[in-house]
Structure 1
Amino acid sequence: MAPDSFLGERMDALLLGKAFLLGVVEGVTEFFPISSTGHLIVAADLIGFDGATAKVFEVVIQLGAILAVLWVYRQRFADLARGMLVQREQQRFAGHLFLAFLPAAIVGLVAAKGIKQWLFNAPSVAVALVLGGLVILWVERRPRTIRVRSVDSMGWKDALKVGLAQVLALVPGTSRSGATIIGGMLFGLERRVATEFSFFLAVPTMFAATLYDVYKHYKLFSLADLPVFAIGFVAAFFSALLAVRGLIRYVSHHSFNVFAWYRIVFGLAILASWHYGWVVWSN
């Protein structure tokens, strides 16, 4: 049996229900600018889903969410795979994704251990949620000049700027999608363009993060835990599928203010529960 396996709990309906719930939380929050990592930390803490294997579970179910993006944009990624070696347009797009991916990858390798040690707790998440919500409100209200109206018209500097914004998402509660979408809008990308590029950038970023974590913790995997991982994975895929399609429709006609206010209220609620001792959050 793998160390810290889920077999520490009986493989019953309650455990599988926890896995399903966290899969839905991951899928719904991964692409909304509200922080999936932050929500997983809070949700897992509340339902008692903890331990080293549980942390690997939270990373692995991200693959379910990523597959949803690959499915929604399957034609675009198929064109990229076919034309990356021969088509200048696809080579340019792949180069932009790689350039945007690099900053977070480099900083993550250097600082991931410290971030997980000091910032993976509910109060830190709450502060990041509130601050991120205030930033979204500020960006939405300030005058903006839109320079880029399609993903294909982005330049390498645009991609690099979005990649630098993604570094902020290493802080749990910030939101990877929030940092890249709002950062892209701040740098002159049209709202839908910033959202779609954030989706595309999620693929290499989250694949790399997942594979790295699996490589580091492969000894924690057990075949007996497969049902837990499978349920979380499937739940994340289908909930993310709905979230991606819904968000693309939403941003065509609405601002991100509703997400900003949600972040602020949710973050303040967590801080209040921590300050007054209503909930005993783990460190």
Structure 2
Amino acid sequence: MTIFQTIIIAIIEGLTEFLPISSTGHMIIASSLLGISSDPFTKLFEVAIQFGAILSVVVLYWRKFLSFNKLNFYFKLIIAVIPALVLGAVFSSKIDNLLESPLTVSITMLVGGFVLLFIDSLFKQPTVDKEENISLSKAFTIGIWQCLAMIPGTSRSAASIIGGMQQKLTRNLAAEFSFFLAVPTMAAATGYKLLKAWKENPEVLQNKNNLIALGLGNIIAFVVAMLAIKFFIGFLQKYGFRLFGWYRVIAGAVLLVLVLTGYLK
């Protein structure tokens, strides 16, 4: 992976990690278009740079994350992340195989787009507008919804936000809780990938160029993600999810054509 390719993929990760349009799906397509080979380091890189993006949440919401007077907040995140930890461990190899499939991305982009077109009208009467009012059962249910994102192209952000709105959270609170939930989820995924790489392909983490790429990728993803989060919350308050839905539908349709015509493999 060249420096140029590293920068492009990291920018894409930072822009899309917290938007409901699938960061993994965009990275898979971008890697295919850039001609990046699907080797062990590429798979590790596309997961590990998500750690840089989630650090932006900790920085932007540092008062919440560093307030140890609210242990109930941390307990909710622990409860919510359990489904992803269990299913991620059980289906790890199958998930890795799906990460190589532009066809899967195109289909899930389309389906998720149609859902986002109607989500604002489906959940019109939210009753939970504060994090303190999110019960443990609601947190766990949102965590189950998040597991849909194990299918590339679904979007972890979209799945958990939809789950939150289905549990009567306001769309802004659902988005914020999705950000919070990303921290333990992606930290666990990054740690698992790094440990797996160290055991199975230690040379990947001993390569100086690979380490530079990981460091640079995380820094870029961190900075870009901070900007994306600020944009997303403001946009969501004014316009809702419809534009993201149309983006996914159009992008999914274009990708599907490219895959079926053999341009993307």
Aligned residue in 2 for 1:246: 231
Deviation at 1:119, TM superposition (A): 5.5
Alignment correspondent of 2:77: 97
Q: Which residue of 2 aligns with 1:192?
A: 172
Partner residue of 2:208?
223
Match of 2:122 in 1: 142
Amino acid in the other structure paired with 2:128: V
- 1:210 and 1:111 map into 2 onto residues whose CA distance is 16
Contact 1:166/1:179, CA 8 A, preserved across alignment: yes
What percent of counterpart residues are identical? 37
How much has 1:203 moved relative to structure 2? 0.2
Partners of 1:229 and 1:170 in 2: how far apart?
22
SS of alignment partner, residue 66 of structure 2: helix
> Secondary structure of 2:238's partner?
coil
Matched, 1:17 2:4: yes
Contiguous gaps of at least 5 residues in structure 1: 1-5, 7-14, 84-89
1:73-112 aligned at under 5 Å gives the runs 73-79=61-67, 82-83=68-69, 90-112=70-92
User: Which residue is 2:45 aligned to?
Assistant: 57
1:215, 1:143 → 2: CA distance?
A: 40
Q: How many residue pairs get matched?
A: 259
Does structure 2 conserve the Cα–Cα contact (< 8 Å) formed by 1:184 and 1:194?
yes
The 5 A counterparts of 1:32-181 are 32-50=19-37, 51-79=39-67, 82-83=68-69, 90-118=70-98, 120-181=100-161
> What is the CA deviation profile of residues 39-66 of structure 1, one whole-angstrom value per residue up to 9, with x for unaligned ones?
1111011101221111111111111101
Shift of 1:273: 0.9
2:123 touches 2:165 (CA, 8 Å); kept in 1? no
Q: Give how far 1:235 is off.
A: 1.2
Gaps of 5+ in 2: none
Question: TM-score scaled to structure 1, two decimals?
Answer: 0.88
Letter of the 1:256 counterpart:
F
Counterpart Cα distance in 1 of 2:117 and 2:259: 25
How far 1:176 moved relative to its partner?
A: 0.3
* 1:237 match: 222
The alpha carbon displacement at 1:118 in A equals 4.0
- Once residues 254 and 120 of structure 1 are traced to their aligned partners in structure 2, the CA distance between those partners, rounded to angstroms, is 33
Aligned equivalent of 1:259: 244
